[in-house]
């Protein structure tokens, strides 16, 4: 095991819009942040750049009049943070200890020490795990109607899921699509009654009950889906311009279990800005937000986390190797 001698002012875990915005602000505040950006292409690893690396065109981020490809946008964020002195490590964090300061962050056998930590490890959309999902994501397959709905103007689209997210996505898509088909694996939605009513009464929405997507059809662009109806035991093919998965998300918080307060779904709980329940540990982006999930809101909360971290560090004695005390806000 190799413990780094340097105690960093800030270590940022995760490199989506939240982490990289936090890095821009922390670097410009002279905190020399280290961003542990994820494990590159390692199997099961977190993707440096986060979920935007899996999208194509981003048209709703202010400042990009013509839109920008998700990966290009993340490269700009990364370069901007590097310009002010941010350092990067392309690796997965394997363990953390926030019970004592300086905080300890492990990458394999290497231990990094930090006075403060910003967590921006994001969340993952649940997938059906069908063949060709990776290839078709951003090419007809999407996990975010708010982000991609506009691209399907005048087309037929389908939404998979029966929870509140699926209802919201379907209703949002009616603004653009000619018809929205909801594909649900059971004969009843689990969404709130009011959302169900809005969906079921909407003239542009129809529901395929007891149905599951069994195959995505299309090589470089989604063209259709194969369906299996569990009740009739029949298979069918439905042509669609777009397919939206809305079957839930999981926050990337398994590293922090038992150390940071989480809600029942595993999202980090923040209060008073970006503070977690451990003093000196902050959280930003989708890891603490299951409501908005947008690049711009993630970036905004990354900015908040960096400002909160800077102010908190300023309030600390310089050599503060003291027990990390949980705090109530």
Which residues would be at the binding site for ligand NAP (CB under 6 A)?
A: 128, 160-166, 168, 185-186, 190, 247-248, 290
Half-sphere exposure of 286 (CA within 13 A, CB side): 20
Residue whose CB is less far from ligand NAP, 20 or 213: 213
Q: How far is the CB of 199 from ligand NAP (least distance, A)?
A: 12
The CA–CA distances, whole Å, from 17 to 75, 275, 293, 298 equal 10, 18, 11, 6
Q: How far is the CB of 165 from ligand NAP (least distance, A)?
A: 3
**Is 147 one of the annotated active-site residues of the chain?**
yes
**Where are the strands (E) in the chain, listed by range?**
2-13, 34-36, 57-58, 68-69, 87-89, 95-97, 103-107, 110-119, 123-125, 141-142, 156-160, 179-183, 205-208, 211-217, 224-229, 234-239, 242-245, 249-251, 281-283
Residue whose CB is less far from ligand NAP, 98 or 267: 267
**Is 148 one of the annotated active-site residues of the chain?**
yes
Residue whose CB is less far from ligand NAP, 28 or 202: 202
* Residue 99, number of CB atoms within 10 A of its CB: 14
Q: How far is the CB of 184 from ligand NAP (least distance, A)?
A: 6
Q: How far is the CB of 246 from ligand NAP (least distance, A)?
A: 6
Residue whose CB is less far from ligand NAP, 115 or 184: 184
Which two three-digit tokens encode residue 111? 């231990």
**Is 303 one of the annotated active-site residues of the chain?**
no
User: If you count DSSP H runs as helices and E runs as strands, how many of each does the chain have, helices first?
Assistant: 7, 19
Selecting among 9, 134, 148, 286, the annotated active-site residue is 148
Report the Cα–Cα distance between both ends of the chain, in Å, rounded.
36
Selecting among 9, 147, 286, 308, the annotated active-site residue is 147
| Catalytic positions | 144, 147-148
């Amino acid at each position: 095991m190799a413990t780094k001698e340097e105690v960093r002012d800030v270590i940022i875990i995760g490199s989506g819009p939240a982490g990289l915005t936090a890095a821009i602000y922390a670097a410009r505040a002279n905190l020399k942040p280290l961003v542990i950006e994820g494990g590159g292409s390692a199997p099961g690893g977190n993707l440096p750049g986060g979920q935007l690396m899996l999208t194509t065109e981003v048209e709703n981020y202010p400042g990009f009049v013509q839109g920008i490809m998700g990966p290009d946008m993340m490269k700009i964020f990364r370069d901007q943070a590097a310009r002010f002195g941010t350092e990067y490590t392309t690796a997965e964090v394997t363990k953390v200890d926030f019970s004592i300061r300086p905080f300890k962050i492990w990458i394999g056998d290497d231990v990094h020490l930090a006075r403060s930590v910003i967590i921006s490890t994001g969340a993952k959309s649940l997938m059906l795990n069908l063949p060709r999902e990776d290839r078709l994501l951003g090419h007809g397959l999407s996990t975010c109607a708010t982000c991609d709905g506009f691209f399907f103007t005048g087309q037929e689209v389908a939404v998979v899921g029966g929870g509140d997210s699926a209802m919201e996505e379907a209703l949002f898509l009616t603004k653009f699509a000619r018809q929205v088909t909801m594909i649900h694996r059971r004969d009843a939605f689990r969404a709130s009654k009011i959302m169900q009513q809005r969906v079921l009464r909407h003239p542009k929405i129809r529901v395929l009950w007891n149905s599951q997507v069994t195959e995505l059809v299309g090589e470089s662009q989604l063209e259709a889906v194969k369906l299996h109806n569990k009740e009739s035991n029949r298979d069918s093919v439905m042509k669609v311009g777009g397919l939206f998965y809305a079957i839930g998300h999981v926050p990337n918080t398994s590293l922090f279990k038992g150390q940071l307060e989480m809600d029942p779904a595993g999202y980090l709980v923040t209060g008073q800005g970006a503070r977690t329940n451990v003093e000196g540990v902050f959280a930003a982006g989708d890891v603490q937000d299951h409501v908005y999930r947008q690049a711009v809101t993630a970036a905004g909360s990354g900015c908040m986390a960096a400002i909160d971290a800077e102010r908190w560090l300023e309030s600390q004695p310089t050599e503060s190797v003291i027990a990390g005390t949980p705090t109530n806000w």
